[in-house]
Amino acid sequence: MNKKWTVRETPPQNFFDEHPELPAIVSTLLYHRQLRTQKEIDEFLDPDYSQNVHSPFLFKDMEKAVTRIMRAIETNERVTVHGDYDADGVSSAVIMTAIFRALNYTNFSVFLPHRETDGYGLNLNTVKLLADEGTKLVITCDCGISNTPEVELANSLNIDVIITDHHSIPAIVPPAYAIIHPKLPNETYPDQTLCGGAVAFKLTQGILETHKRTNELLPNGQTHDALEKWLLDMVAIASVADMVPLLGETRTLTKYGLIVLNKTRRIGLQKLLLEARLMENDGSLKREIDADTIGFRIAPRINAAGRMGHANVAYKLLVAESGADAIDLAFELNNNNNERQKKTEEYVSEATGQIKIDPSAPILFVISENWATGIVGLIASRLKEKYSKPVIALTYNQGQIVGSGRSIEGFNMIANLQSMPECFIKFGGHPMACGFTLKTLESVAEFKEKLTTKFLEQTKNLNMTPVLNIDAELTLEDVKWELYDVLDKFKPFGQGNPKPRYLARGITVVNLETMGKDGKHLRINVKHHTPRIRKIIGWNLCGNGNGGNGNGVNWSKELKIGDKIDIVFEVDINEWNGNRELQLLIVDLKKV
């Protein structure tokens, strides 16, 4: 679907006057990100770990949770960390493992659910299993807030449950011993956008602060501050992978986490970087690891474990202490990711064929009994990007219908699921994404009808044409190293802080050629207001049919030398053989 291009408003002159030390483009971008006060701007441009990371004890249940964990350690109670099968949940479990290892506490275990046999979050069978194993305390990571029956069962079996989570709050909150959740009603914590890994990190901060009051060092000989900082690589991976806004405290944690990630001591992570061809054999990095590296190279490999097999592979890799074990696990994880990529392309192609039967549907529903449950979320995500409509992807799992949804701005997916609980065995998620299990096969038609009706009711007065927001209009002659260097302070980019996008009008095509093994990508040589030739790159601009930036148009055939085009683009760096050049990446284009 063609997008409506909207160049954001120019800030009022008084905003520029209040910040004369900043270049105009920087002031403009800050204004667009709702950063208006000097305090907000300083925290954004120069985050300070000592100033911009909040005390964990601002969580109203933190003292209670830490006290319960310390009591469990003192009395040698069996503790189980219950994580999740995605990168956020795995990272959370790795963070909790690190704190128990540092305290030399061995009477703990980690349970990561299997996507197909266990499903998301706690389930009743797991609670019974943990009780049989003697567990007295369960700490959930990146899950638990939607598990009221399971927590009630745990209580009846004399198991205390500490929930650490960040997902949407249900109508009934579980009767847990303590809940560390930034969105909880009446919660006192100042930042509501933390991911699951960051919430688990806050709990470890609380444990470290408490232990430090009476101990100079941790039992493993490490300082408390050193352990805390070395955990930040997992927080950065979790935050980027789970696509939470990279603003406020999350931005600070992620920025410092990237510093740690670029010199990580984790043997497993080093081997994973080798497999991903991000690291040389001598241990040096081929290029700096940034948020894009996490989002496109690291997180998909961690997620692939839970999608194609069991998340334990990723967890064991990230906590590995043996190089030999790490090599085998990294190889397995990389193979999982390759298989995941292959299956995703196959399933998306099949799902696209279903949509062509009724492309005008307000919400796109696709279903197959053959799709792996770990891939349906990727199907929904890819189709949502291609068609700019909410998508529900469904598959069969052990006689049940499970699904994943992705939404668009203006339609809160999880809120609408919460309004029809009669359709589901279980569900959870965010405004823009959800996962669920339907009660019966017959529930599919009921669910489809109800969700479509709600979408039509809630959007009838809204213009649902997708909007491409543009930060500023530039000429290609404006794109210089000085511009890139100034914008370097805006990193890490991600949710809430997207890469700046610019509009250039009336560019002349000088030459063009396809790129890539399948000729899906396009390199265009262009000129603007001077004779200087610039190279611009467009990924998936050659009409491969599965999305990309070209809206299904094969621009290699649509364009010819001498044509005038308008482009929306991002500025990046291309590095090869020690060379660096500015690279202009097409987000969207139109023929004039």
Kindly tell me the burial class for residue 76, based on how many C-beta atoms sit within 10 Å of its own C-beta (0-12, 13-18, 19 or more).
exposed
Instruction: From 407, 432, 459, give the residue that closes a domain.
Output: 459
- The answer to whether residues 178 and 37 touch, using CB atoms and an 8 Å cutoff, is no
Report the number of distinct structural domains present in the chain. 4
- The answer to whether residues 66 and 99 touch, using CB atoms and an 8 Å cutoff, is no
Structure tokens at 118: 């266990």
**Is 309 a domain residue?**
yes
- Return per-residue pLDDT of the chain as tens, 592 residues: 688 999 999 999 999 999 998 888 899 999 999 999 999 999 999 999 999 999 999 999 999 999 999 999 999 999 999 999 999 999 999 999 999 999 999 999 999 999 988 988 999 999 999 999 999 999 999 999 999 999 999 999 999 999 999 998 998 999 999 999 999 999 999 999 999 999 999 999 999 999 999 999 999 999 999 999 999 999 999 999 999 999 999 999 999 999 999 999 999 999 999 999 999 999 999 889 999 999 999 999 999 999 999 999 999 999 999 999 999 999 999 999 999 999 999 999 999 999 999 889 999 999 999 999 999 999 999 999 989 999 999 999 888 999 999 999 899 999 999 999 999 998 888 899 999 999 988 889 999 999 999 999 999 988 888 999 999 999 999 999 988 888 888 999 999 899 999 999 999 999 999 998 889 899 999 999 999 999 999 998 986 544 445 566 899 999 999 999 999 999 988 877 778 889 999 999 999 9
Q: Are residues 68 and 141 in the same domain?
A: yes
CA distances (Å), origin 193, targets 58, 190, 336: 15, 9, 30
**Is 25 a domain residue?**
no
Q: Are residues 110 and 149 in the same domain?
A: yes
**58 dihedral zone (left: phi>0; alpha: psi -120 to 50; beta):** alpha
Q: Are residues 562 and 580 in the same domain?
A: yes
Q: Are residues 199 and 293 in the same domain?
A: no
Kindly tell me the burial class for residue 139, based on how many C-beta atoms sit within 10 Å of its own C-beta (0-12, 13-18, 19 or more).
buried
Sign of the four-CA dihedral 250, 253, 259, 263: negative
Residue 494's closest CA among 292, 273, 235?
Answer: 292
Burial 320-352 (b: 16+ CB within 10 A, else e): beeeebbbebbebbbebbeebeebbeebbeebb
Instruction: Give the list of residues 6+ apart from residue 176 with CB closer than 8 angstroms, or none.
Output: 144, 151, 161, 162, 163
Q: Are residues 409 and 370 in the same domain?
A: yes
**Is 217 a domain residue?**
yes
**Is 420 a domain residue?**
yes
Task: Give pLDDT, residue 543.
Answer: 67
- The answer to whether residues 334 and 309 touch, using CB atoms and an 8 Å cutoff, is no
Q: Residue 166 maps to which CATH number? A: 3.90.1640.30
Q: Residue 434 maps to which CATH number? A: 3.10.310.30
Q: Are residues 277 and 315 in the same domain?
A: yes
Q: Are residues 285 and 257 in the same domain?
A: no
**Is 37 a domain residue?**
no
Q: Residue 506 maps to which CATH number? A: 2.40.50.460
Instruction: Give the list of residues 6+ apart from residue 531 with CB closer than 8 angstroms, or none.
Output: none
Task: Give pLDDT, residue 66.
Answer: 98
Q: Are residues 438 and 537 in the same domain?
A: no
Instruction: From 237, 261, 285, give the residue that closes a domain.
Output: 261
Q: Are residues 526 and 555 in the same domain?
A: yes
Instruction: From 407, 438, 459, give the residue that closes a domain.
Output: 459
Instruction: Give the list of residues 6+ apart from residue 312 with CB closer than 8 angstroms, or none.
Output: 112, 305
Task: Give pLDDT, residue 546.
Answer: 41
- The answer to whether residues 211 and 99 touch, using CB atoms and an 8 Å cutoff, is no
- The predicted model scores a pTM of 0.91
**Is 253 a domain residue?**
yes
**551 dihedral zone (left: phi>0; alpha: psi -120 to 50; beta):** left
Q: Are residues 385 and 305 in the same domain?
A: no
Q: Are residues 286 and 218 in the same domain?
A: no
**Is 165 a domain residue?**
yes
CB count, 10 Å around CB of 574?
A: 13
**Is 51 a domain residue?**
no
Q: Are residues 309 and 392 in the same domain?
A: no
Task: Give pLDDT, residue 545.
Answer: 44
Task: Give the span between the Cα atoms of 232 and 216, in whole angstroms.
Answer: 22
Task: Give the span between the Cα atoms of 471 and 484, in whole angstroms.
Answer: 15
Range of the domain at 580: 469-591
